[in-house]
Amino acid sequence: MSGEVITQRIVRGRLIIQLLAAVVIGLVSGLLAVAFRFLLLEGTATVWGSPYNLVAAAQDLPWYAVVGIPVAGGLFLGLILYPRAPNTSGAGVPDVIEAMVERGGEIHHRTTFYKMLATLISLSCGASVGREGPMVHIGASIGSAVARVLRVAQEWRIVFLACGAAGAIAATFNAPMAGMLFAAEIILIDFQVGYLSQIAVSAVTATVVSHQFLGDLPTFDVPSVSLVHYWEIPVFILLGIIAGLLSILVIKLISRVEDSFTAAAIPLQLRPAVGGVILGAVALWCPHVLGVGYFTMNQALGTELIPALIVTILIAKVIATVCCVGAGFSGGVIAPSLFMGALIGSLCGISVQMLMPAGAEVTSASLYAMVGMAAMFSGTTLAPITAMFTIFELTYNFEIILPLMVGCIASLTVVQAGYGISIYETRLVRKGVRIVRGRDVNLLRSLKVYDYMETNFESISQSLPLGQVANMAQESQYPHFVVHDKDNLMVGILSMHDLKACLGEMGELAYLVLASEIMTRDVITITPDDNLEKAFELFKGRNISTIPVVSVYSPRKVMGVLKKSELIRAYSRNVLKFDVK
């Protein structure tokens, strides 16, 4: 049997294992999504007396209960839960992306458990957040666990993590295409077509599980709609622009709320309770802001809300959402984005109908509400394709594709031009995590300086005379010297660039000038545990060809040197896939 045949069989066997692993990930993710939904319904019914309609439930309760329930939930999160797991607040999607970028797809199961518990408590107490983001975190954790059991390479660990995220979204919305595209467009920093089959299998499996337990009905009650006139396309573009501006406002306000808590020196443990006070006060004025808000979204889709009420709910929802997310309640931003989008879309559609002459036929306000939902989703996440297919899979009506496309792209363009990054990347940037999309960057992140530095390097004493330094430079194949003191600790670096200024007067200065007088003292350094992306950033824009590699524990103890030429070879071998001799 030839080597080529054996290689083909190994590749096929590996593909079958990967697909079977995707089935397992989708199965478990779907089951957890279903279980989470049932637990949430039970928790909401226990706290509010109704699992679905929190608006009516809040109206039947005394005012102190409406305020007290979110405050109690916030106190439990801040004082009891978060001290045990401080990374469980906020949306789950940024945590998943961070796990891919910083830890190669490793997710700690302890954090996942507490994330699930924190989200259940937050939503059961009426926090104005979504369940989709934390479900992504839970699904991704399943993918990470399967990857750990199979001991796959980092590349496929990340793919399995994306499979779990796709399964979670697919099961949550009963929308397999949306789950698959969510993983490809948002979760995977480096997407390749070769990953698509595993992600699709996971999304389909999770959807089948969801259908088995919850039925095949869509998440929202969507009436039959269609685009009546093409002259309405500019109106949908305007709707997308409005959604983009609102997306920027929401993203900035969340950051502003967090900064306000910090400026006021409010302890992290008390912030959810303070957010609960604000939420309760807003809910007394407008109870529609409580919880995920699917009941009110269905009202908007069914054109059951009058314009004045829509405006009131929209203002209240923005306030409630930015305060809950900024205060640290555990939950996502997809559901609030869909909620706000449904409101502005419905308002836009009703306004068009009111401006038209009596009896004129125009597109239903329900379609405007659907486009608004997709446009807000697109604006906050910068994922227009996922947004379009999430709404499309509610109806499978191809007549709505055109309005969805123009609305999502308009919103995307506004956010990209006016702000630049998604709400998820905003969370990561504020944590100091830098996200750059592209295969080459992410390969460089996986390569460590330790594997490419040279431990055999030339060093000289700071008291060495210039004449001897010049002689060593002539004999050296790479005249870059680490300058050390009597304790063998680095005090600077000396290269040919430093020597050039003294070569013309070598006779007079040969024994008068010491290495310490001409060396470069302000030395750029790197550690063995840093990655090659950071090394590229250090070399970029600087006229240097060598960086000393120093100990993590002693910034003056040199372990080796990293040459720019070796960095280029590493890039060529691992990214460009050819060897540089």
Please list, residue by residue across 332-371, b when 16 or more beta carbons sit within 10 angstroms of its beta carbon and e when fewer do.
bbbbbbbbbbbbbbbbbbbebeeeeeeeeebbbbbbbbbb
Low-confidence stretches of the chain (pLDDT beneath 70): 1-13, 86-91, 104, 189-194, 216-219, 359, 433-446, 501-510, 541, 572-581
Name 448's Cβ contacts closer than 8 Å, sequence gap at least 6: 528, 529, 530, 531, 532
**CATH topology assigned to domain 230-430:** Clc chloride channel (1.10.3080)
Instruction: Report helix angle 132-150 to 93-103, nearest 10.
Output: 30
The correct answer on CATH 1.10.3080.10 for the domain covering 3-221 is: yes
Query: Which ranges of 151-232 does DSSP label H, i.e. alpha helix?
Result: 154-173, 176-182, 196-214
Closest CA to 240 of 373, 396, 401: 373
Same topology between domain 3-221 and domain 447-576:
no
Hey, what CATH class is 447-576 in?
Answer: alpha beta
Name 503's Cβ contacts closer than 8 Å, sequence gap at least 6: 470
Give the pLDDT score at 465.
82
Give the pLDDT score at 375.
96
pLDDT, tens only, 135-145: 888 888 888 88
Name 580's Cβ contacts closer than 8 Å, sequence gap at least 6: 568, 569, 572, 573
pLDDT, tens only, 341-368: 999 999 999 999 888 877 677 888 889 9
Which residue ranges make up each domain of the chain? Answer: 3-221, 230-430, 447-576
